[in-house]
Every structure is written in C-alpha cells, then in structure tokens.
Amino acid sequence: MNPELTDPYLPIHQRLLERDPLAPSDLADAILDQVLVRVRKIFPELAHETILDDSVADAVLGYAERPHKFDPSRLSLLSYLTMSARGDVLNALDARKRRRRREVSLELVEESPAARKRLSDHANTVAAADETVVEQAEIVRISAHIEAAIRSPMDGRVIHLLIDGERRTEVFADVLGVRDLDPAAQRRTVKQYKDRIKKRLERLGVPLDERQTT
C-alpha cells in the first residue's frame, strides 16, 4: 500500500515544507512519543537511558529542519523517523565505545599492572555489551523488513528457504506447486519467483549472501 494514502502526518509534513512556524512544535506533540516507543522496542536494553530520548529528539528536530529529505512515497513518516533515530542511537553507541576506550588508555598510563588489567577487562565488557545491543537491533530491523516482504504464505516459505541457503529447484517447485511441470519449466518458474522475492528483499535492505543469489 502506498504510504501516501495512509500516513496521517502528511498535513504536518506539508506545513513544514511551507515553513509554518508552528509546525515543528505540532510535529513533536503528535509523533515524538510514538517514535520513542518504537525505538525502545528496537533497543530494549537501553530503554531507561537518555541516549534513546536524545536520539529520537535529534531525529525529529533534524527532520523538522530538513523536511525535503523525507520522501512520503517510499515509507511513512513514523517509519522514517524511527529509522533515523535508530541510526543516531547506533552512532552514539559507537562514539561512547570509542570514548571509553580512550579513557581507559589514559588511565592505563598511570595505573599499576593489576589496575590496568581490571580496566582493560571492564572496557572489553562494556564494548561487548554495546556490540550485543547493536547486533540485536540489526536482527530486529532485518526481521521487520522480512515481515514486510511477505505478502502471502507462499512468499513466506520461499523467503525462509532463501535465508536458509536452499538452492535445489525441486524444493522450491514443491512449495510453488509446479512439480507437475517439465524440468525446464520448473526451473524457469522457480527462477522468476525467486528473482521477484530477491528484488523485494533487496529494496527493503535484507542482506542475502552470494550462495542465496544464485
């Protein structure tokens, strides 16, 4: 479905394009809390940290200042702002990890060998925790996009076969119900269906490794 037909925030978007001075505050009142709820679901481990509030506020403010960067024909404003805030959170986590490593490096110059080991272990633990948050966020993102790509039960079965790395034509032919066709027709039908699904996944940003694209 075209987001332009269902997005309730398009009137505010139009006001922002027209530089209505009241539009930014109306935007924040209307959508900020909803974006925050979505981002907290992506980063549940950070639900009580200000990094999420700050990232959501930055995403909404950045959009209000540059509304022309949003294309309502591609996705809804709520999804756009959620993706923007997610990127800000990941950048903030990366910056925090680099800052902590620099702080540990400075402290190591003055600390004893035992203290250096404790600081190093702490830094590694913090870095591992942040990396886990990033990995979980990526899993949530990809899972949501996979769900968006599924338009029928058959699509779902084909997508999961692709993700599992299945390549046998006969397996896909069984799913598509074309095993009664001759081998050449089976291959042609399976290839056409797989190509259509792969393009849909690529547009949504779902990665497929090389063996899944052949």
> d(Cα 190, Cα 167) in Å, to the nearest integer?
10
Low-confidence ranges of the chain (pLDDT < 50): 1-2, 108-109, 133-136, 138-140, 143, 210-214
> d(Cα 136, Cα 23) in Å, to the nearest integer?
35
> d(Cα 134, Cα 94) in Å, to the nearest integer?
9
Which pLDDT does position 199 carry in this prediction? 81
Which pLDDT does position 59 carry in this prediction? 93
119-148 core/surface letters (b: 16 or more CB in 10 A; e: else): beeebeeebeebeebbeebeeebbebbbee
Which pLDDT does position 55 carry in this prediction? 92
Written as one string, the DSSP assignment of 129-190 is HHHHHHHHHHHHHHHHHHHHH--SHHHHHHHHHHHTT---HHHHHHHHT-TTS-HHHHHHHH
Mean confidence (pLDDT) of the chain: 77
| Pair 23, 11: CB distance under 8 Å | no
DSSP label at residue 152: S
Q: Tens of pLDDT along 2-22? A: 455 578 999 999 999 999 999
Could you give the maximum distance between any two Cα atoms of the chain, in Å? 76
Residue 27 token pair: 């935007």
Q: In terms of DSSP H, where are the helices of 18-112?
A: 23-42, 50-65, 77-110
Which pLDDT does position 46 carry in this prediction? 83
Residue 146 token pair: 């996979």
Domain residues of the chain, as ranges? 3-149, 153-213
Residue with tokens 């190509």: 195
Which pLDDT does position 77 carry in this prediction? 93
